[in-house]
Structures are given as C-alpha cells and as structure tokens.
Amino acid sequence: MATQDGSEEVLMETEAKPKEAEPLGEDAEKSDAETTSHTDAGNATTQDSSISNGDDADDKQETVDLKIIWNKNKYDLKIPVDSAGAKLKERIHSLTGLPPAMQKVMYKGLLPEDKTLREIKITNGAKIMVVGSTINDVLAVNTPKEVIQQEVKAEENKKEPLCRQKERLPTVPLSGMFNKSGGKVRLTFKLEQDQLWIGTKERTEKVPMGSIKNVVSEPIEGHEDYHMMAFQLGPTEASQYWVYWVPAQFVDAIKDTVLGKWQYF
C-alpha cells in the first residue's frame, strides 16, 4: 500500500533487491561450466598426448626386437610380430636406405615377403642378415669394376689355353709317371676349374693352381727325354710333391699352365 510519504514503496524496493543477485548465480554456473569444459579439454589433451605417432603405434601390438645386419653395420629394430616380410623390408629401407627391391633378407634362408614374422617363427633378439647394394653404390663401382674386369682378362690371356701352347698337353690325363713311393701318378689339367688333379691308385687330389707356389724340374740323368718334376704345394720346399718320368716335351707346357708364363723361370 502506498503511504503519504512513500515509505512502503521504499521498503518494497529494498526487499526486492536480493532477487537481483540471481544473474550472479547464472554467471557462477557459466563459470563452473567453463571450468568443467577446460578440465575436460585438459583431460582430452592429456589423453591425446599419450597416443604416440608413427612407428610408436607398434607399442600397442605384440612386437619383436631384431638385429639387422647390413654392410658390416648393425641396426636395432622393433616391429610387430604379425608384420609381413614385405613390411620388414620397408622398415629396413627406412634404416639403411637400401630399396626393398634390392634387398635379400636372410633368416634361416631367404625370408618370404608374404608370410608374417610369427609364421616364420622369428623371436626376440633374432639376427636378420641383409644383402644388397644401394643404387649409388652400384653407380660408384660401375666404372672401376669394368677396369678390373679388363685387367683380369688381360692376365688370363697371359696364361694361354692348351690349344695355343707351343708344347701342347694331351687332352687326356698325362699318365705313365711315378711318385717317390713308386706309385703310379697321372696328372689332369682342369683349366676351366683352374685345378691340377694329381691322381694315384688310392685317391685324386684336386689342387687349385693358384695355391701351387712353384714348379721345378730337371732331366733324369741318362734319360734326358724324361724329367723329374716337383710341385710345391705349401710354403716350404718340404711340401714339394715329386713326380718322376715326366715326358720332356710337356715340361714347359706344364710350368706355363700351372704358374703362368709371367712366373716361369
């Protein structure tokens, strides 16, 4: 009710003032909501940060630790055990720079690309051998390799084939000779294998010609058409293998064949 002096209206306005505080409550709710939102965002950020990028995602799968050995270098690699051989080649490429197409990956034989590491029973600590050269390596050695091949061919030409030698060796084993024990000996020259086969009744010894240190001979007194010849099979003269009654016409050809003309003296 209104009074003459208006005091009741003042009282009503005074009593209504607490209701004006309601917007403050709404602001508080908004503040609480924003706090909750920031907290949720913070938790989301924390959760997101726990997710690793790239290959670290492998940690969520069962993995194996491997030792990759290539070109005398060793690399540690962790990879899911259910990865296929092709995937392993990709990971090796990232480590070494060696393209998968140029890799030969060995683990108890050539590693198949279509099977998983679990299927071929690769375990922790397994050593994986990798063979192959990068494209740059191939290009770098291309010219020197050609030069080396030319030099090798030149050296091979110095050791003439039997058909071009002045003193031809027979195309069949040279027989009718004896060793110092009196046993029969036959000599077979395997040029395609670069070997000298020294055959007796008991066995045939296949000697690489490159391992024969020297060949010496001298005529048999009173029988100059025949020589006794020694093949030095080791570092000292004690390792000489003596052959008697070698036809003289074959002596020079034998020395040239075994030692090469550049070593003959």
Which residues constitute the domain of residue 129? 63-138
Is residue 91 included in any domain, yes or no?
yes
132 and 189 together in one domain: no
Of 48 and 180, the structure prediction assigns the larger pLDDT to 180
* Residue 189 domain flag: yes
User: Measuring CA to CA, how many Å separate 107 from each of 38, 39, 117?
Assistant: 53, 52, 10
Task: Look at residue 84 and tell me whether its pLDDT is greater than 50.
Answer: yes
The structural domain count of the chain equals: 2
Question: Considering the entire predicted model, what is its pTM?
Answer: 0.36
Q: What is the mean pLDDT of residues 179-208?
A: 89
3-state secondary structure of 179: strand
215, 226, 227 from 219: Cα distances, Å: 14, 6, 4
Identify whether residues 120 and 172 lie together within a single domain: no
Structure tokens at 64: 């194996």
Q: Is 29 inside a domain boundary?
A: no
Helix, strand, coil distribution of the chain in percent, nearest 5: 40, 30, 30
Structure tokens at 149: 């091949």
Say if residue 245 is exposed, middle or buried (CB neighbours under 10 Å; 0-12, 13-18, 19+): middle
Q: Is residue 152 part of a domain?
A: no
Report pLDDT digits (tens) over 4-42. Answer: 454 444 444 444 445 444 554 455 455 555 555 445 544
- The CATH number covering residue 127 comes to 3.10.20.90
Residue 213 lies in a domain: yes
CA distance linking residue 249 with residue 231, whole number of Å: 17
Summarize pLDDT for 119-173 with one digit per residue, the tens.
Answer: 988 989 999 999 887 666 655 555 455 555 666 666 555 554 444 444 567 778 8
Residues 133 and 196 in one domain: no
Asked, for residue 4, whether it belongs to a domain, the answer is no
Asked whether residue 240 is assigned to any structural domain, the reply reads yes
CB contact at 8 A, 202 and 184: no
The verdict on 172 and 254 lying in the same domain is yes
- 54 contacts 82 by C-beta, under 8 angstroms: no
Residue 89: inside a domain: yes
Residue 246 CB burial class (10 angstroms; 0-12, 13-18, ≥19):
buried
* 135 Cβ contact list (under 8 Å, min separation 6): 99, 102
Check residue 44 and give its pLDDT: 44
- Could you tell me the CATH number of the domain that includes residue 231? 2.30.29.30
